[in-house]
Each structure stands twice: as structure tokens, then as C-alpha cells.
Structure 1
Amino acid sequence: MEHHNDSVAADAPASLAPTMAALCEVAITLAQTIARGPLNTTNLHSEVGENSDGDHQKALDVIADDAFAAALGGTGVRWYASEEQDVVVPLDAEGTLALAIDPLDGSSNIDANVSIGTIFSIFPAETEADASFLRPASEQLAGGYFIYGPQTCLVVTYGDGARQYVLDPASRSFVLVSERLNIPATSSEFAINASNYRHWSRPVRAFIDDCLAGAEGPRATDFNMRWVASLVAETHRILTRGGLFLYPGDARPGYGQGRLRMVYECAPIAFVIEQAAGGATDGFDPLMRLRADTLHGRTPLVFGSREMVERVTAYNTLPESEVSALFGNRGLFRA
């Protein structure tokens, strides 16, 4: 099963092989930079500006973005869309691919030595730059992520299952360790930022209340709650042992559609999760059917073990009278 050196490129469809090889080379270098942490001459966590959405950019955000953009030239990528760029960047006029990327996901955790990563999505290129990305997530050719943690891993799908590679530091190569990942159908773990409880919709609060009620509650299960604030870390844990991730829209100004971007975060994660037998929705509809309206457009995101994702949808689609009854009877945090 093991492949070395150019194994990722060899396993990819021929049209994607050069792009995947370039992504891997940058990821290997980034992994080394991240592992050195404060030993680097640059403070990787220092703030260097803001991106188009007003998010604070860390030095490592910019280093990663520059490295990927430079490496992808000549690999068949016509359009490069990055969280760190206001607009799509043209790379190769003859290219047939459009690549969307979050170069450094979870950058708020850089200084805390928590797993961070890179998320990417590949679409067929269209003549118009934005049109290459503003399309249903189901039209992705590939989606995946690198996670820089105790092991540096690549998880990727080309629509034929999700596979996992681990970086061997000795050979500087990614080694295939799983040809087909499968998420357990259910779990007793969920991940959500509970500090936003008061801002969530009543169905989301009712769902979480029922989980927190434990074995004595309507779910008859003691749940554990997780929250890493690193999408790749949350995804990797769920791929490994199941669970549920929720980042719903909420009542705060600017958070009606959540905080995660459809094109270069939610779409590739949903692609991987569904190819690993999990589910991914915006809380109502399968995410793979959806599309972004703008390059940096956001969407609520719920993904993980299929039974748990379907239960969230059931709560969200209950009639208001039933939601009110659930919330009134079971709310653990109501005034």
C-alpha cells in the first residue's frame, strides 16, 4: 500500500498530479517552519495586516499564501483564489484548473502550538475567474487539507473516497496510510463554541441542551464537548473517531451566515466528509448542493457522523410550536 516520493501525485488523476505535487512541496516546507516555532527569525504569530473580511493576518498567513501562489505556477492552475487575497489571482492563461485555498487555517492558534492546517479545493477553470468558483460544491474535482500537528497529514478526495497520507520527515515524502476513511455513523462527541449560546437560534440551543442533559435527558447519552477553533483539527478528529461539528449562523451582526467561507473552507471539507461516509449541511440542506454567491461568501456548517448531522437538520426543520415546547421543557440555560 505504501508509496513514497511522488506517491500523492501518482495517486491523483493525471490532470491534477502537478498541482498536488506542488501543494505537497509547500506543505512540507511549512511543516518544518511551523515545527521550529519561535526558533524562526520571523515571529509567525505577529499581526501584519487584515484580509478582505477584516480578519487579522498573521505573518504565517502571508508566508503560506505567498508560497502556495509561487509554487502553483506552471502546474495547470489558471485561477488562484485565497482567503488572503481580495480577488482571484491569474496564474496561467493556459491552465485548466481553478484552485481555492485557505493557506493557513487556525492561525489564531499559532502561538499555542495547536494543530493548524491548509484547506484547498480544485474546480475546472472557466473563462471568467469568479465563475470558476461560484458554482455548486458538487463540481469540485478535488478537496482536502493538510494538518500540521504531531504528525503532518494530507487528507484528500477526488470523488472516489477519502484517503490519508502521513509525512515521513526522514524522507520528506507523504506515505499513504489509509485508502478509504470512514466516519462512524454516530458518536458521543460534539464541537461548538458554547460561548455563543445566547446568540444561537432556538433549534440549535434545544439540540445542544438535549446533548448536555446527558444520560438523564432525551438523548440518554453522556456527550463530551470539544472546541479547538481550528477547522482542520476538528475535521481530523471527526474523521478519526466520529462526532459532530457545528458553526451555525447566529444573531450577532455579521454572523447570520456563520463565519466560515464556502469556497475555500466549507466546500472542500464537505467533499472530504461525504466521501468518508459522513454528512455535511448548512443546518438544513446538503452542502454539496450549495454554491457561494460571492468569492468570500460565508455559510453555516454542520458536519460529521451522519446520524448526528441528520438530527440537527430535524431540529432545525421542526414547526415553531414544537421548537418552543422543546426549548421550554429542556433548556438548561434559559433565564
Structure 2
Amino acid sequence: MTDLAQWLNRQTNDADLAQTIMSMAAAGAELAAVLRQAPIAGQTGLAGSENVQGEAQKALDVISNDIVLNHLKANSAVSILISEELDEAVDLSSQGRFIVATDPLDGSSNLDVNVTVGTIFSILPRAGGLLQKGSAQLAAGYIAYGPAASLVVRITGTTSVFTLDANGVWLLTLAAAQVPATSGEFAINTARERFWDAATTSYVRENVAGETGAAGKRYNMRWVGSMVADIHRILMRGGIFLYPLDSETVSKGGRLRLLYEANPMSWLVEGAGGRSTTGRQNILDVEPTDIHQRAPVILGSSEEVKRVEDWYRRA
């Protein structure tokens, strides 16, 4: 089987970019091993601190950030690290060509119940500065820590999936992921319905009406509460993920972070034939104003995303 190093050799002539992806993959392999032993080591509880967003940090949030930081410090190609767990960007190398933006442990609130969590990363050219559109990404990926550890990565073109074997090697298991254009599944937190805007409410009501409504088919709702888990399901079998702007999050610009959640996930989903939007524009076209900027996120099967966009146009 093809391993990650061999795949990268075919995908890019940029050795520094390949090495940066390998650094994130190595960090993921190390973190996968830590997560397997975390309940035994007593590492699933709170760390007693908060990140820049005011969210309580788990012990593993801190550990995962340190793992990523240490791997990138050893890579002279990386100049700057932007992390969800750090207030400010960290300078790593004055000569490095890349910026890495990361959520080192997405979905960490699920650790206590052994639900899939993940690491999300985006690689940007240093020359563009800290605040760049998602369309400027050179590569992006995530690592899902579930029954198997999966690395999903895209440079340009297609989105590929690797699985970590027993020897710690990432092996290619899906060369070109393809998100079906249509689907009968949607992922949204319905406990927030009272905050939704008219477009989101209308779209979800159509789905709930099933074959008796305008959508004309039956839908199932899925919601894990871990972005990596929800997006990985959509990447493998289709569907749509929605965390829209609503009346509670509007003052912050949304719930999810643009640089290290929305942009890399949009990059991956679009590479697999899917679509992404804030409701009013493509996520990859959003101009960032802050490294921890938030944004509405709607992405997945192209026809489903288009239906949501149609509702926003009507609104």
C-alpha cells in the first residue's frame, strides 16, 4: 500500500510543504497513542484554565497543543503557529515559509464519553501574513481519532484519506474522497432552534417534513458535537453540517473559528466535490480580520448546501 511519504512525493515538488504535512501527521500519530491511554492516565478532566475564547481547557487540550508545537518547532519550514489554545501567534522560525493554523484537539468536550475527536490544520504561505482567505491555503487536513485514526489531507485537487497502522505508518486507504451531491442526512444542534434565523429554520423544517414536504424525501438528523466526527461522516457518505449565524452568536460573528476550523474543513470538503458557505458567501472567500475570528459554517453535499443558499437569498 502507498504510505503518506510516497503519496506526498507524487503530489508536490515542494519538499518543505511535504515535510510540514508529515510533521502534522507525526503529531497526530503521537496524539493518537496518548488518547488511547488518557483515561488510564487520568488526563480527560479539566486543566483548570481557559483558552482565548473563554472555553474551559481539558488537560488533553494543553497536551495536544504541546505535541503539535513540539513537532512544528523541529520543522524549520514553519515560521508561525496559530492555535486555538494560544492567545497569540507563536514565532517558530525566522526563515520558515509557512504558517500553520490549528485546532489541536477539536471536540475535546467529548473525551469523557469516548467519542471521536480530532486535530484540524491549515497551511498558509508566510508571505501572505497572518490574515489570509481560505482560498490561499497551500494544504489542509484533519486527523480523526476514532476506532481507527484517519488522516484526511488535500494539497490541491482531490482529498485523500490515510489510516494509521499498527507500526505508526499512515497508509493510503482512499485516494479520492467524493461527497455525494445529494443526501438524506443533516447535522445541526436542534437545541439552538430558538436562536436560528429564518433561512436555517425553513431549511430544517423542510427536511423534517420529509417526503410530505417540499424536499420530497425523508431525512435523518445526525449531531455528534465534534466537528471532525461530523465532517468525517459527511466526507465518507454525504450530508450537510450547519453551524449558522444565529441571534446568540451574531455579536461574535459565529461559533466556529475561521482560520483553523472553517477554512481547512471547507478546503477538504470542496476537494471532495462538496460545497461550503456562510449562507451568503463561500467560506474560502471570507476576508479574516483576526486570527481567532469566528464565522458561520455550512458545508457538505453540494445540492443540500445550494438549498440552504436558496433560503438565504429568499430571506
TM-score, structure 1 normalization: 0.90
- Any gaps of 5 or more consecutive residues in structure 2? none
Measured after TM superposition, the shift of residue 303 of structure 1 is 0.3
- SS of the equivalent of 2:172 reads strand
Query: Among residues 305, 308, 311, which one is paired with 1:312 in the alignment?
Result: 308
- SS of the equivalent of 1:72 reads helix
CA distance in 2, matches of 1:48, 1:103: 18
1:238 counterpart = 2:234: yes
- SS of the equivalent of 1:213 reads helix
Measured after TM superposition, the shift of residue 11 of structure 1 is 4.8
Q: Please list, as runs of the form range in 1=range in 2, the aligned pairs for 1:253-332 lying within 5 A after superposition.
A: 257-318=253-314, 320=315
Residue of structure 2 in register with 1:225 after alignment:
221
Indicate how the Cα distance of structure 1 residues 256 and 215 shifts in structure 2: closer, same or farther if over 3 A, else same. farther
Q: Kindly provide the amino acid, as one letter, of the partner of residue 183 in structure 1.
A: V
1:179 counterpart = 2:175: yes
Runs of 4+ residues over 6 Å off in structure 1: none
- SS of the equivalent of 1:121 reads strand
CA distance in 2, matches of 1:212, 1:35: 38
CA distance in 1, matches of 2:6, 2:65: 24
- Any gaps of 5 or more consecutive residues in structure 1? 321-335
Indicate how the Cα distance of structure 1 residues 38 and 74 shifts in structure 2: closer, same or farther if over 3 A, else same. closer
Measured after TM superposition, the shift of residue 102 of structure 1 is 0.3
Which protein has the larger Cα radius of gyration, Structure 1 or Structure 2?
1
- SS of the equivalent of 1:37 reads helix
Indicate how the Cα distance of structure 1 residues 237 and 36 shifts in structure 2: closer, same or farther if over 3 A, else same. same
Could you tell me whether the CA contact under 8 Å between 1:8 and 1:20 is conserved in 2? no
Alignment deviations for residues 5-45 of structure 1 (CA, whole Å, 9 cap, x no partner): 744654553221221222122211111111123112x4223
1:28 counterpart = 2:29: yes
CA distance in 2, matches of 1:27, 1:313: 35
CA distance in 1, matches of 2:276, 2:178: 14
Q: Kindly provide the amino acid, as one letter, of the partner of residue 282 in structure 1.
A: T
Residue of structure 1 in register with 2:51 after alignment:
51
- SS of the equivalent of 2:73 reads coil
Could you tell me whether the CA contact under 8 Å between 1:162 and 1:179 is conserved in 2? yes
RMSD value over aligned CA atoms? 1.5
- Count of matched residue positions in the alignment of Structure 1 and Structure 2: 312
Residue of structure 1 in register with 2:124 after alignment:
123
Could you tell me whether the CA contact under 8 Å between 1:74 and 1:92 is conserved in 2? no
Alignment deviations for residues 126-151 of structure 1 (CA, whole Å, 9 cap, x no partner): 3xxxx623111111000110000011
- SS of the equivalent of 2:273 reads coil
CA distance in 2, matches of 1:61, 1:92: 24
Could you tell me whether the CA contact under 8 Å between 1:7 and 1:174 is conserved in 2? no
CA distance in 2, matches of 1:176, 1:112: 29
Residue of structure 1 in register with 2:99 after alignment:
98
CA distance in 1, matches of 2:247, 2:210: 27
Alignment deviations for residues 63-84 of structure 1 (CA, whole Å, 9 cap, x no partner): 0111111111242000100000
CA distance in 2, matches of 1:101, 1:207: 31
